């Protein structure tokens, strides 16, 4: 009997406009190597992951040097140069490109290139929580702050109850065929879970970690450095 394998799929075709830097945020240096390289090495260090696929823009000028510098991790790594205009399209193109390699019931863990704080322990926690799950799920954190909805001028109009609210992280882990179908059928989602939810299914929320945050603004790099050094 075929036992499902686990594949990592990293969409890395974004430009990271809010980072206001010269290059996309996944290629900024963090602790001596590019952000994306941390992510690739984490998946390589996780015995569970059979292979890692990275989706980049067709004209990406940085990825070849990164692969060359990845040492043994490069052996279980394939670059797909078919990034799309949105994250959803980059992931969908990646899924289509691995159609021959992945079976319908294999798991795909989609992870943002700009979340270098992922650890093998988090990957394993997610996979173990979803081993027999019929839907799949994602790392996420319960919202702890009081939430405000603003009106123009940056003034608080109402307080949004935070009960039952989670902040989605990645990896988001679903079976290959279900995820490909869900992403093909929707247009306006910002993560894989959103596409699965639109099918009427309920992905499982598995507690992630604050260190697995997404680099978005310039000062986020300094925070990521602290996490890497184990100070936070
Ligand atoms: O821009 P944002 O932070 O939401 O991007 C999340 C992830 O999706 C990043 O890893 C980024 O490189 C990727 N992405 C992509 N293709 C796009 C836009 C974003 O692969 N067109």
| pLDDT tens, position by position, 104-121 | 999 999 999 999 999 999
Position 230 confidence tier, pLDDT thresholds 50, 70, 90: confident
Q: Domain for residue 16, yes or no?
A: yes
Q: How many CB atoms lie within 10 A of CB 61?
A: 10
Q: Cβ of 133: how many Cβ atoms within 10 Å?
A: 15
* pLDDT > 70? residue 232: no
For residue 65, the CA-to-ligand 1 centroid distance in Å is 20
Relative orientation angle of helices 35-45 and 120-130, to the nearest 10 degrees: 50
Which single residue is written with the structure tokens 């940056």?
154
Residue 154 domain flag: yes
- Give 211 Cα–ligand 1 centroid separation in angstroms: 19
Interval 48-104: pLDDT, tens: 999 999 999 999 999 999 999 988 888 899 999 999 999 999 999 999 999 999 999
| Total H helices, total E strands in the chain | 7, 11
Determine, yes or no, domain membership for 77: yes
Asked if the structure places residue 177 within a domain, the reply is: yes
182 CA from centroid of ligand 1 (Å): 18
Alpha carbon distance 124, 46 (integer Å): 8
CATH number of the CATH domain containing 56: 3.90.550.10
The closest of 97, 94, 111, 87 to 16, measured between CA atoms, is 87
Distance of CA 44 to the CA centre of its chain: 15
pLDDT for 15 equals: 81
Q: Is residue 85 part of a domain?
A: yes
Question: Using omega within 30 degrees of 0 as the cis cutoff, is the peptide bond preceding 58 cis?
Answer: no
Q: Pick from 116, 110, 139, 117: which is nearest to 126 by CA?
A: 139
Domain count, the chain: 1
Residue 1 belongs to some domain of the structure: no
Does residue 172 fall inside a structural domain? yes
- Indicate which atom in ligand 1 lies nearest the CA of residue 84: 21
A 10 A CB-CB count for 71 gives 11
| Tokens read off for 12 | 């890395």
Q: Which atom of ligand 1 is nearest to the CA of 113?
A: 10
Range of the domain at 57: 6-228
In a domain, 159, yes or no: yes
- Write down the pTM of the prediction: 0.96
Candidate of 8, 9, 13 to mutate for ligand 1, largest count of ligand atoms within 8 Å of Cβ: 13
Look at residue 22 in the predicted model and tell me its pLDDT.
81
Grade residue 218 by pLDDT with cuts at 50, 70 and 90: confident
Q: Ligand 1 — pocket residues by CB below 6 A?
A: 11-14, 26, 55, 83-87, 90, 112-114, 214
- Could you give the maximum distance between any two Cα atoms of the chain, in Å? 60
């Amino acid at each position: 009997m075929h036992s499902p394998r686990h594949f990592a799929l990293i969409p890395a075709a974004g430009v990271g406009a809010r980072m206001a830097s010269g290059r996309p945020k996944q290629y900024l240096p963090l602790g001596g190597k590019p952000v994306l390289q941390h992510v690739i090495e984490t998946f390589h260090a996780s015995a569970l992951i059979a292979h890692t696929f990275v989706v980049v823009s067709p004209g990406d000028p940085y990825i070849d040097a990164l692969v060359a510098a990845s040492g043994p991790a490069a052996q279980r790594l394939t670059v797909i140069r078919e990034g799309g205009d949105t994250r959803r399209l980059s992931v969908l193109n990646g899924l289509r490109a691995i159609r021959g390699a992945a079976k319908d019931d294999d798991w795909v863990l989609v992870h943002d290139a700009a979340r270098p704080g992922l650890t093998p322990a988090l990957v394993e926690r997610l996979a173990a929580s979803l081993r027999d799950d019929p839907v799949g799920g994602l790392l996420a954190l319960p919202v702890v702050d009081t939430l405000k909805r603003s009106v123009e001028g940056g003034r608080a109009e109402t307080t949004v109850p935070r009960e039952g609210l989670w902040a989605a992280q990645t990896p988001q882990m679903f079976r290959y065929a279900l995820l490909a179908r869900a992403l093909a059928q929707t247009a306006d989602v910002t993560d894989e879970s959103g596409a699965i939810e639109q099918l009427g299914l309920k992905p499982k929320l598995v507690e992630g970690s604050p260190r697995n945050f997404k680099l978005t603004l310039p000062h986020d790099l300094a925070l990521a450095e602290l996490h890497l050094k184990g100070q936070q």
